Amino acid sequence: MNLSDEMRQKLVEIARQVRRWAYAPYSNYPVGAALLTASGKIYDGVNVESAAYPTTICAERVAIFKAVSEGEREFAAIAVVTHNGGVPCGACRQVMAEFGLDTLVMVADKDGQITTEMTVAELLPGAFRPEHLVRE
């Protein structure tokens, strides 16, 4: 993905700023995300935890689901900001793969330093995709 340095920084800064809205009373690990769609729109997301741990949702999926609920299906890039540059979990990787393996994934730390940059395909090799669902 050809993404300008300016857009990279913009996405990281948005993810960095929205991180303050995360609801993470159990893990104390707030995460912010900013998703750039192919149409040029940006959707943000934060992690939202619950006392019933399995019902927690990650920032990446919040941003993706917000975009999908607005009719978006093609994504160019996503920035994820955590305290220490932690990479997306397996569930988030799988959801990202659903919408394209070429999406650029940038992970940054709390100061906005990008620590990881790769495509979804690189982040989730051998991804299970819709075309794997064989209908008999």
- Give the Å distances, CA to CA, from 124 to 40, 47, 89, 103, 129: 24, 21, 10, 12, 11
At residue 130, the pLDDT reads: 87
Instruction: Provide the domain limits for residue 55.
Output: 5-132
What helix, strand, coil percent values describe the chain, rounded to 5?
35, 25, 40
Q: Which residues of the chain register pLDDT less than 70?
A: 1
- Within 8 A by CB and 6+ apart from 90, the residues are 124
Query: pTM for the complete prediction?
Result: 0.94
Q: Are 24 and 86 in contact (CB under 8 A)?
A: no
pLDDT, one tens digit per residue, over 20-52 is 999 999 999 999 999 999 999 999 999 999 999
In the annotation, is 60 catalytic? yes
Total domains in the chain come to 1
CATH code at position 120: 3.40.140.10
Q: Which of 6, 13, 49, 60 is flagged as catalytic?
A: 60
CA dihedral over 110, 98, 118, 88, signed as positive or negative: positive
Question: Cβ(33)–Cβ(46) under 8 Å?
Answer: yes
Task: State the Cα angle at 47 between 106 and 50, rounded to 5°.
Answer: 155
Q: What pLDDT score does 1 carry?
A: 58
Three-class secondary structure of residue 57 per DSSP? strand
| CA 101 to the chain's CA centroid | 13
